Chain A
């Protein structure tokens, strides 16, 4: 009898090995790896925000919402504009009602009236996904539904995302959210569907003040690349090591 048991154990072990084979086979089909080969490796899309030029009209937010079918009246948004007001007492007053969608026409910040004489500086700050060189969101996605293309844009495979929210938690910039209708992770794609056709992204097109620009970092003749190379630009939260690719002209230490 004990031999039959040994045989049984052997079969069991072999069975387990066979059962785990498909797992390793599937690994090569990981969507992250498969999809990562899309895009053009001669291109590295980057974004340039000129904070000095932003007037806080919110047209970019509106344009993005309609272009990318993010329901208008929910608070989540792929791009948003923050308002910073710094007063003489050294305090920052920051807000972004509806992501700045409706523009900043009201001087009160979170029901607080700020005396214009107390203000030392104030500015608007557009934000969006930084299409990081070393994206935390891609690293943590358990199924590889979030992936990076060869031209540096991070995308979400809406058909494969399981909605675990790990990427939402991992992004230090709060760029991600759950799409209210699709119920999967969503974020800015630099309008990948447009830029690949030679169009401008919806927000860049909507900004009449030239505060938002996009370019190809691998092309030295690109004016955006030229600006990034020759002027003093900043990035957000570089301490996380994500190597963000949205550059800002006139960034302030107050920006959070």
Chain B
């Protein structure tokens, strides 16, 4: 069976070799990369620009971006037809290719995130290591060893050393912002530079990708933060009763952090939408040869996906929800889920939409997402493959959070 045949439906004239070769995993790839980049940018806003109001969410989003990191790689790996050769990219990077440097950019970024987390948590590691020293029990010994190794031998917790740590964090966060943007702008470049594809080819693509990345990253961090805080509140309620001070306090902190973060979300959302609309208007106005088929795709076959689901539900409604004064957690949750959905739809409409028409401009292709997998390929390139990618960062976060509690002083 030819790759792509199982989920491609052709209409009118399409070249014989054309199929939807880049399917759901390639939708997931920029989506997950975007979440990573966005989460990091959010945490850096606090560390670099001293946006005090983001303090509560900054640590959390830093650790979360670490959990998201491997999942940016995952969809790419899953989509390769020769997954075991994936490492070839590191051995023989062919630098005229926009994908070739991915490994390098990605590892640079990973190193920055890891070292930043180390600087943020070094004192904590040292404290833990001291506290656990000499304690009995297998778990304690194991923990002791883990934390001691994590200190990397730097046990100094004098004020001077802590000040250096802080400076380290600041510098790394500073370098991290351009690298995170580059990482994602680069994902945009992978698409934007495919000259054969009329929908993708646009110099705006990298910028559009960066903006929507930050939007999705912030939204996911906020949402996860709310879920965790609600859980905390719920537990406090169980333990101490509904009207307890600590419950009220948690709720107060939560709404405060969320309201403040949502302002940044709004800003980036506006930037993202304006760029996307600019791109659309420009294409219509210049009306190059490809415009006829693009118009058919946008205003006919994909109209619901683009204008109703992406712009309507994904952008307009959450935009209004975020703007209404006196925010409530419930409304925020709805808005955030919609924002995340909107960005996902944007990725979908770019990746799948870009393959919705034939290179001949005389026909269309439809992607029929495989739901129930009946072989490895339909699993990887189907709904469950995508769900695997979505679930992974949360599992990882749960694990990492055991070692580096990112919510403690939030």
Contacts and interface: CB of A to CB of B under 8 A. Distances in A.
- Whether chains A and B associate is yes
Given A16-B111, A140-B96, A171 B152 contact: no
Interface in B7-52: 12-13, 15-19, 21-22
B12 A110 contact: yes
Interface string B75-102: 0100111100110111111111111101
A222 to B, nearest CB: 30
Contacts, number: 174
Interface string A131-172: 000001011111111000000000000001111111011111
A75 B96 contact: no
Interface of B: 1-5, 12-13, 15-19, 21-22, 76, 79-82, 85-86, 88-100, 102, 104, 111, 152-156, 160-161, 164, 190, 193-197, 289, 358-362
A140 B99 contact: yes
Nearest to A32: B94
Contacts of B362: 92, 94, 256
B118 to A, nearest CB: 10
Given A26-B91, A139-B96, A169 B197 contact: yes
Interface string A82-104: 00000000001011101100000
Given A31-B92, A166-B97, A161 B82 contact: yes
Contact of B89 (A75, A143, A168, A183): A143
A176 B360 contact: no
Top 6 A-B pairs ranked by shortest CB distance? A163-B81, A174-B15, A1-B156, A144-B94, A172-B196, A142-B99
Contacts of A184: 81-82
Contacts of B89: 142-143, 162
Contacts of B90: 23, 26
A212 B168 CA distance: 67
Contact of A99 (B16, B81, B161): B16
B194 A140 contact: yes
A142 B80 contact: no
A165 B22 CA distance: 7
A256 B22 contact: no
Contacts of A162: 80-82, 85-86, 88-89
A225 interface: no
Nearest to A140: B97
A92 B19 CA distance: 22
29 contacts: A2-B161, A5-B161, A26-B91, A74-B5, A75-B5, A76-B17, A80-B15, A92-B362, A96-B15, A140-B96, A140-B99, A141-B97, A142-B93, A143-B91, A143-B94, A163-B80, A163-B82, A166-B190, A169-B21, A172-B195, A174-B15, A174-B358, A177-B2, A177-B19, A178-B2, A178-B81, A183-B82, A239-B289, A241-B195
Nearest to B90: A23
Contacts of A165: 3, 21-22, 79, 81
A16 B19 CA distance: 42
Contacts of B12: 110
B1 A180 contact: yes
A180 B2 contact: yes
A23 B88 CA distance: 11
Contact of A2 (B19, B79, B85, B160): B160
Residue from B76, B193, B194 with most neighbouring chain A CB atoms (10 Å): B194
Nearest to B12: A110
Interface residues of A, number: 60
Contact of A168 (B21, B82, B190): B21
Contacts of B154: 1-2, 4-5, 8
A27 interface: yes
A256 B13 contact: yes
A168 B2 CA distance: 13
B20 to A, nearest CB: 10
A110 B12 CA distance: 8
B155 A1 contact: yes
A183 B98 CA distance: 22
A136 B156 CA distance: 55
Given A143-B89, A163-B82, A4 B153 contact: yes
A128 B96 CA distance: 25
Nearest to B354: A169
A171 B196 contact: yes
B18 A174 contact: yes
Given A2-B156, A136-B196, A180-B1, A160 B88 contact: yes
A62 B155 CA distance: 73
Contacts of B289: 239
Nearest to A28: B92
A36 to B, nearest CB: 11
A175 B360 CA distance: 12
B17 A143 contact: no
Contacts of A180: 1-3
Contacts of A173: 15, 359
Contacts of B76: 164
A168 B79 CA distance: 14
A240 interface: yes
A203 B196 CA distance: 26
Contacts of A183: 3, 81-82
A94 B88 contact: no
A69 to B, nearest CB: 14
A8 B16 contact: no
Interface in A196-251: 239-241
A256 B102 CA distance: 34
